[in-house]
Amino acid sequence: MVNLDGRVAVVTGGGGGLAEGICSTLTASGAAVAAVDVELKKAEKVAQMAASNGGGRCTAVEADVSDRTSVEAMVEKVAAELGGIDILVNNAAIYPLRPWTEIEEEEWDRVLSVNLKGYFLCARAAYPHLRESAGGRIINVASITFFIGWAGFLDYVSSKGGVIGFTRTLAREVGPEGITVNAISPGAFPTDAERVHPDQEELNRRILEQQCIKRRGTPEDVGNLVAFLASDAASFITGQTIMIDGGWAMH
């Protein structure tokens, strides 16, 4: 396990399934973690679970990543209570399922606002703290769906393609200041987000057929990759997109 003692991490989408693995692994590695979610109760549940594993502290913070005022207040609160920010994990996302002809303009705007603009707002707000850190890290959660396409998720997949472009360009911008910016592209993980699919058995079969590794991934798998990218061991890696999908899409 990597050593993140003394580091402070913000994990958005902190009440979701992947956040369980991300927050738990970061705290177990010694980081103090803020699990940030628009639904505080969900974030509190994840924070309690992460803190119970030992290591660093984990606290829940309520914020809407699509709202600049909310994001700035969240960053100020975390930095004051935990002592700065060294690691930002942009993980918040919404995942509606419908044919592209049924997507309303308001839904399109909301998905892009949370899934892409939210990453920008959080990075901008955390930037002064990341710049002061001895090893600032931004880790953006993209998706395998950008590389393979996935019918029924046009707005979601479009937002995740934007995340990869955001990652590459921001890495150029902040690299001279010692901040790394990377993306991870998870495959399909058995979290609550999958419940939008009507046929769970067929979905599970389809995923295992496509993967080289014949088991479903876990949030802890994602957490391990995030912790590595947040560590000193990854200090010369930036602007990259790393697939974590059991060998489904090879890029």
pLDDT value of position 211:
86
pLDDT single digits (tens) 15-62: 998 999 999 999 999 999 999 999 999 999 999 999 998 888 999 999
Query: For 209-233, what is each residue's pLDDT tens digit?
Result: 988 999 888 999 999 999 999 999 9
**Cα separation of 221 and 134, whole Å?**
26
Could you confirm whether 156 is annotated as catalytic?
yes
In which residue are the tokens 């396409």 written?
149
Mean pLDDT is lowest, of 99-108, 144-153, 204-213, 231-240, for 204-213
A 10 A CB-CB count for 14 gives 35
Domains and CATH numbers, the chain: 8-243 (3.40.50.720)
Contacts of 229 (CB under 8 A, 6+ apart): 137, 139, 180, 182, 184, 237, 242
**In Å, how far are 27, 146, 214, 242 from 199, measured between CA atoms?**
35, 22, 19, 29
Q: Is the distance from CB of 236 to CB of 137 less than 8 angstroms?
A: no
User: What tokens does 53 get?
Assistant: 């594993």
Cα 156 to chain centroid, rounded = 14
Strands, sheet with 180-186, edge to edge from the N-terminal-most edge strand: 58-62, 32-37, 8-12, 87-90, 137-141, 180-186, 241-244
Between the alpha carbon of residue 98 and those of residues 16, 112, 142, 171, the distances in Å are 21, 16, 20, 33
